[in-house]
């Protein structure tokens, strides 16, 4: 299957909000990404799917500028990304965050603006308004003053999403946002991510929840060290070959049966 990095709804002259071009990344002398290319347009939710160790989180960290590629480039709205200076909303995996800090929910969400505020400037009325709006979007307003250490896993995940939303950036990156969540929280966040894309953000989400991604995403990108295939969910799900390549499975795999049901 040929890689399709276009979006049908885009005008021919409209540049993608997020552009990843032929990125190579090595970590510890080991190749993690090779010739990886992908676009995400404004108003689009793209699901990034692949096996463990495929390089999904590394690709997100490369977009953030935290990992420097050996070759290739990443552009957001036509400009090269710069660590800490390019505004990108990012929701890391929940276990990557220290939850024992003596901070309230609202204070944690405010940390999403640190790059914009710097270390010395005090948050102003507009900053707290962004925090309040973000908490409202994830239905956490009533818990704004609660210590984050007292939250459940699902509540903590909503706080991380709110922290990313407070930045009000054009690009939102989500790293396994549904892991360990109950079904009501998954449905709440899934609907929110679709809404955020429809409001004009470019949303890129890594996930192992293939049925949910096929249902909610505008496009699916299959990754195993490189982008193997990109396409609309119903088209990509109908072709087993790229899934077999990405996951290293045979024609009788349960994964392919899931695709048929989805």
For 85-126, the pLDDT digits (tens) are: 678 999 998 777 778 888 999 999 998 887 666 665 778 889
Judged against a pLDDT cut of 50, whether residue 9 lies above it is answered with no
CB 41 within 8 A of CB 6: no
Helix (H, G, I), strand (E, B) or coil at 261: helix
Check if the beta carbon of residue 51 is closer than 8 Å to that of residue 248. Answer: yes
The pLDDT of 200-207, averaged and rounded, is 96
**Is the pLDDT assigned to residue 135 strictly greater than 80?**
yes
Whole-number pLDDT of residue 85: 67
1-88+170-262: CATH homologous superfamily? P-loop containing nucleotide triphosphate hydrolases (3.40.50.300)
| Mean predicted confidence (pLDDT) in 199-210 | 95
| Coil, helix or strand at residue 71 | strand
Could you give the percent of the chain with pLDDT greater than 70? 90
pLDDT band at 8 (very low <50, low <70, confident <90, very high): very low
What single DSSP character describes residue 63? Answer: H
Whole-prediction pTM value?
0.89
Q: Where are the domains of the chain?
A: 1-88+170-262, 97-168
Q: pLDDT, tens digit, for every residue of 41-61? A: 999 999 999 999 999 999 999
Distance from C-alpha of 11 to C-alpha of 8, rounded to nearest angstrom: 8
User: Which residues are CB-contacts of 16 (< 8 A; sequence separation ≥ 6)?
Assistant: 7, 10, 39, 40, 41, 42, 202
Residue 219 has pLDDT above 50, yes or no: yes
Question: Does residue 5 register a pLDDT over 80?
Answer: no
Q: Are 89 and 164 in contact (CB under 8 A)?
A: yes
- pLDDT tens digits along 205-218: 999 999 999 999 99
Average pLDDT, the chain: 89
């Amino acid at each position: 299957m040929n890689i399709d990095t276009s979006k049908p709804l885009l005008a021919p002259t409209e540049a993608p909000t997020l552009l990843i071009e032929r990125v190579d990344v090595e970590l510890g002398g080991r190749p993690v990404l090779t010739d990886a290319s992908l676009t995400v347009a404004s108003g689009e939710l793209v699901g990034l799917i692949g096996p463990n160790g495929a390089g999904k989180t590394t690709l997100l960290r490369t977009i953030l500028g935290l990992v420097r590629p050996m070759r290739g480039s990443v552009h957001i709205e036509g400009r090269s990304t710069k660590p800490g200076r390019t505004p990108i909303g990012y929701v890391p995996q929940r276990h990557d965050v220290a939850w024992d800090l003596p901070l309230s929910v609202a204070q944690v969400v405010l940390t999403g603006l640190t790059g914009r505020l710097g270390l010395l400037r005090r948050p102003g009325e507009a900053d707290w308004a962004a925090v309040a709006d973000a908490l409202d979007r994830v239905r956490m307003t009533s818990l704004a003053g609660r210590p984050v250490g007292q939250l459940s896993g699902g509540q903590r995940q909503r706080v991380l999403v709110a922290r990313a939303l407070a930045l009000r950036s054009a690009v939102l990156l989500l790293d396994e946002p549904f892991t360990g969540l109950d079904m009501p929280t998954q449905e709440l966040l899934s609907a929110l991510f679709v809404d955020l894309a429809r409001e004009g953000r470019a949303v890129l989400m890594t996930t192992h929840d293939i049925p949910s991604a096929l249902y909610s995403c505008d496009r699916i990108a299959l990754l195993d060290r490189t982008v193997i295939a990109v396409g609309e969910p119903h088209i990509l799900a109908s072709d087993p070959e790229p899934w077999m390549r990405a996951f290293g499975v045979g024609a009788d795999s349960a994964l392919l049966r899931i695709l048929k049901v989805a």
